[in-house]
Amino acid sequence: MEQSTRPLEGLKVVELSIAIAAPSCGRMLAYFGADVMKLESLQYPDVVRLFGSAWARTPEYAAVFTDTSPYLPEMNANKRSIGLNLKVAAAVDAAKKLVANADVFLTNYSTPAVTDLGLDAATLRELNPRLIYAALPAFGSDPSLPYYPFISWGPNQAPLVGLDAVTGFPDQEPAGVASFAPPDYFAGLHALMAVLTALEARDQTGEGSWVDLSQFGTTVAALGPYLLDEQLSGTVVERTGNRSAWYAPQGVYPSRGEDRWVAVSVTDDAAWQGLAAVLDLAGPAATGGDNGFAADAGLATAEGRRAQHDRLDAALVAWSSGRSAAQAAVELQAVGVAAHPVNDTEAMLVDPQLAEYRWYQAVPSFRFPDGDLVGGCALRLEDTPGYWEWAFPTMGEHTTEALASVAGLSEAEIAELVEQGAAYVPAEPELTLHRPYQHMLGLLGLKGAPR
Amino acid sequence: MNPPSFPAPTTGAQPWAGLKVVERDGLCSSYATRLWAALGAEVVVLEPPGGHAYRHLPPFAPGTGEPEGSLWWAFLAQNKRSVVIEPGSDTEQALLAAADVVFDEPAPPVVAPSPRHDRQVYVAITPFGLRGPRANWRGSDLVAWAAAGLSYVTGFPDRPPVALSSMNFASHVTAMQALGAAMMALFARKQTGRGQLVDLSMQQANAALHPEVGVPLVLDDAVHRGRSGNRRAVSRPWGLYPCTDGYASVIIVQPAHWMNMAAWLVEVTGVEALADPAFNDMAVRWEAAEFIDAMTEQLTSEMSKQDLFVEGQRRNIPITPVNTVADLSRDPHLEASGFWVDADHPVIGPHRSPGAPFSGGPDWWSWTRAPLLGEHTDEVLASWTAWS
């Protein structure tokens, strides 16, 4: 098939970012063809570069350690790395020349930080009136607001915005969302919406805009209905474990094996009839009692089932414990009940739906020419799909070419910047690496061209 | 550069004014279409005569019930228009055919849908995608968390995995992904002149939140990621600590932040050893987790979460409170930032909702209350299908 043009081909984005929120937005733009130039410093590397691989903590890899983090492709696939030490005035001038020829400046640095660097909205918008300046500071860009100077990042946004207090079981302290940071990705998705909206507005008016997104506000809004409830009735929503305010039964039930579980939601009365038939058929030995669920009129409605949730849970636990999670899910789906094994990371690797869509792909990079693993993008456009071209850039990989072609610097000017430590080019360019799992890529079906 | 995505009425209006969007019944696009509508898109919700699914979900406003009193509906249907229509009717088909963008959540067995005309963007949202062995499997918010690898790593190791199941958070994430895809397809339409099908899987939408415990990481270091309760198994302090009125989150990575924290801990506990520079290394603090936790708890348990937040931040330490909805309703920053927008609803009465998630042009956002059942049926039928 002839390669289609991706929707954002030709769009130039300069990204000054850290961790997840802004990078996850830039990554989606890059997936759809935008030229996303990430400004990176060797002195103050993006935190995801600091989580280098354990196997690379040896002197022989010291110079390229920041290229080994397996997080890198997850946040920065398809981007270009422009190595600039922004503490040096000449580097800031070079960055401004990039921005002067760009469509979007995307940052999640704090407002004081970008202002100190001279890369604040007022300065850059004056430089380039068509620029879309998209900033995602934790608490917005208005210095008069109470939390303006506060520091925050993904993991401790979840408690702040109200997610942690509602995660967990009612009989114990909040479990919180401790292992990953939903607010970061949620902010990134809002930033995508903001940037595309600003581009649409620019196509109509010819002018850029300043998009100011407070990470705090974006995720608080996800609690909308419960904020209204508190306001109107004084009710403070509590933790409910895995139970739902409307589906019953719903839960995560143990299955055969160590720490194996199946998630089950009975989303309507017809699904309940399916589940009831399965449990009744399994009989007393498998469900802990002669239940007669299907014939029990008291269980025909969600309200009735909610009143007997503990009893239904007990029967489900007895039934699911004797099966593998996959078998339980297949049996329940066959009768129209929403169910799925609780995937751990290893299960994600072999999940049949994710495999069908090639969610994980080995994509080459400068440092890993035989391929490095990239997780997918959920935006599946059938006719003009995005795709991965490289897993992630090596620190400073595109400094020379971007400063020449986008910023318009001469070869001598670029050499001078590198010479004075204002710009970086890749360390040890001849050194290529392999992941410990490289030999398994073919076996796992992860090799080959993307798309 | 590019022409506008659609015939916009006038320049300077809301960015998406003039765009016709149809939303069919379902839970997984509403969050985002609420925002798109506030940015000017004309979002029409096609409701079956009994009302959209969200109209039936508790909580309800005090003294109200279905179909107008659901606070899910009151929040998620803001800025939209309600058209009551018999599913499968000719009128429904005519409205679908008039749309620039359709959000649909087809029920199994799924026949791959297609746009109704050449320029239409058709977003089909399903639990697992339109193809593959589980294309017809049913889903839910809880099931999406499970299938996306998110539940497994959430909760305490000695209890079952948990999800944000009462929040519909996975549905909202899906909605934002669906919106991004729809907008992207409109940009493609500027180049090709054609719309297209978008295959949006709820599992994939949420798998995008998995990288911190993701496959590339686990294959690289061969360390299984499990549940670690409310403190992450990386360093200390890293997680929730009890205080006088609940919990506060203390998560410290950078050495400078730790040094500020150590100074405060020494003030409170008198234990000088905490100032030992060895602890500046987060790996060393992880080895001494029990000690660091005990000292941190001694500090936090004497203060309220808001005091810990404000005083911690004054000392340049990333501490945040574990807020409840009651705390957020009264949060001074949200209040001062103009976060809330007011609405008055004939059944629910006056209320305020979270407003714009970002600022942009001065005329970008406008907010209206959720529509009554069928409130715009006549108006939309007249204006959308008059030409057909």
pLDDT at B199 over 90: yes
Same domain, residue pair A39 and A108: yes
pLDDT at B111: 84
Tell me: do A288 and A208 sit in the same domain: no
Residue A447 lies in a domain: no
Residues of chain B with Cβ-Cβ distance to A205 below 8 Å are: 11-12
Question: CB A165 to CB B228 under 8 A?
Answer: no
A160–B323 C-beta distance less than 8 A: yes
| Residue B113 sits at the chain A interface (C-beta within 8 Å) | no
Tell if the CB–CB gap between A232 and B173 is shorter than 8 Å: no
| Contact status of A153 with chain B (Cβ, < 8 Å) | yes
Across B34-53, average pLDDT? 97
Task: Classify residue A251: in a domain, yes or no.
Answer: no
A375-408 burial, b at 16+ Cβ within 10 Å, e below that, comes to bbbbbbbbebbbbbebbbbbbbbbbbebbeebbe
Residue B56 confidence class, pLDDT cut points 50, 70, 90: very high
Domain match, A164 and A189 both: yes
Residues A216 and A281 in one domain: no
- Single-letter amino acid code for the residue at B244: T
Q: Give the best residue of A32, A211, A252, A267 to mutate against chain B (max B CB count within 10 A).
A: A252
Domain count, chain A: 2
CB pairs under 8 A between A and B: 534
Q: Chain B neighbours among A 272-301 (CB < 8 Å)?
A: none
Query: Best mutation site among A380, A435, A440, A441 for testing chain B: the one with the most B CBs within 10 Å?
Result: A380
The nearest CA of chain A is from the CA of B386 a distance in Å of: 27
Q: State chain A's mean pLDDT as an integer.
A: 94
Q: How confident is the model at residue B12, as a pLDDT?
A: 57
Shared domain for A307 and A371, answered yes or no, is no
Question: What whole-number distance in Å separates Cα of residue A267 and Cα of residue A261?
Answer: 19
What are the chain A neighbours of B165 within 8 Å (beta carbons)?
240-244, 250
* Interatomic CA distance for residues A400 and A409, integer angstroms: 9
Closest to A324 measured CA to CA, from A299, A311, A342, A306? A342
**pLDDT single digits (tens) A89-134:** 999 999 999 999 999 999 999 999 999 999 999 999 999 999 999 9
Amino acid A178: pLDDT:
86
Res. B355: pLDDT tops 90: yes
Its pTM surpasses 0.95: yes
Instruction: Report the amino acid identity of residue A84.
Output: L
Do residues A175 and A93 share a domain?
yes
Asked if residue A229 belongs to a domain, the reply is: no
Structure confidence by residue, pLDDT tens digits, A49-83: 988 898 999 999 999 999 999 999 999 999 999 99
Average of per-residue pLDDT across A153-181? 92
Instruction: Mark whether A98 and A194 lie in a shared domain.
Output: yes
CATH number of the domain at A392, please: 3.40.50.10540
Nearest to A336 by CA among A384, A419, A255, A270: A270
Structure confidence at residue B55 as a pLDDT band (50, 70, 90): very high
Average pLDDT of the residues in A146-160: 87
Tell me which of A294, A313, A341 is where a domain ends: A341
A360 found inside a domain: yes
Residue percentage of chain A with pLDDT more than 70 = 98
A314 shares a domain with A411: no
Q: Within this chain, do residues A298 and A421 fall inside the same structural domain, yes or no?
A: no
Rounded-to-integer distance, Cα A386 and Cα A400, Å = 26
pLDDT at B4: 53
Of B74, B84, B79, which Cα lies nearest the Cα of B34? B79
Q: Cα–chain-centroid distance for residue A139?
A: 20
Sheet holding B81-84, edge to edge: B81-84, B42-47, B20-23, B101-104, B121-126, B196-201
Residue A38 pLDDT > 90:
yes
Q: Does B315 touch chain A (CB under 8 A)?
A: no
B58 vs A contacts (CB less than 8 Å): 245-246
Asked whether residue A252 is assigned to any structural domain, the reply reads no
Structure confidence by residue, pLDDT tens digits, A237-288: 999 999 999 999 999 999 999 999 999 999 999 999 999 999 999 988 888 8
Determine the Cα angle at A297 with ends A293 and A302, to 5°. Answer: 85
Q: What domain range is A83 assigned to?
A: 12-220+356-440
The per-residue pLDDT for range A170-190, each reduced to its tens digit, is 999 999 998 999 999 999 999
Q: Do B203 and A203 touch (CB under 8 A)?
A: no
Q: With contact defined as beta carbons under 8 Å apart, do A378 and B187 qualify?
A: no
The reply to whether A213 and A141 lie within a common domain is yes
Cβ neighbours of residue A359 closer than 8 Å, sequence gap 6 or more: A351, A375, A376, B204, B207
* pLDDT of amino acid A1: 42
Residue to mutate among B196, B212, B252, with most A CBs inside 10 A, is B212
What pLDDT score does B388 carry? 45
Of A341, A368, A391, the domain-final residue: A341
pLDDT tops 50 at residue B1: no
Q: Same domain for A189 and A60?
A: yes
Q: Is residue A373 part of a domain?
A: yes
Kindly state whether residue A86 falls inside one of the protein's structural domains: yes
Residue A214 domain flag: yes
**Closest residue of A to B157, CA-based?**
A259
What residues of B are in contact with residue A437 (Cβ under 8 Å)?
A: 219-220
Q: pLDDT band at residue B5, thresholds of 50, 70 and 90? A: low
Cβ-Cβ contacts under 8 Å for A307 (sequence gap 6 or more) = A298
All domains in chain B, ordered by first residue: 20-209+339-385 (3.40.50.10540), 238-324 (3.30.1540.10)
Q: Residue A441 — very low, low, confident or very high, per pLDDT cuts 50/70/90?
A: confident
Residue in A150, A157, A211 to test binding to B, most B beta-carbons within 10 Å = A150
- Same domain as A198, residue A82: yes
By C-alpha distance, which of A139, A388, A133 is closest to B361? A133
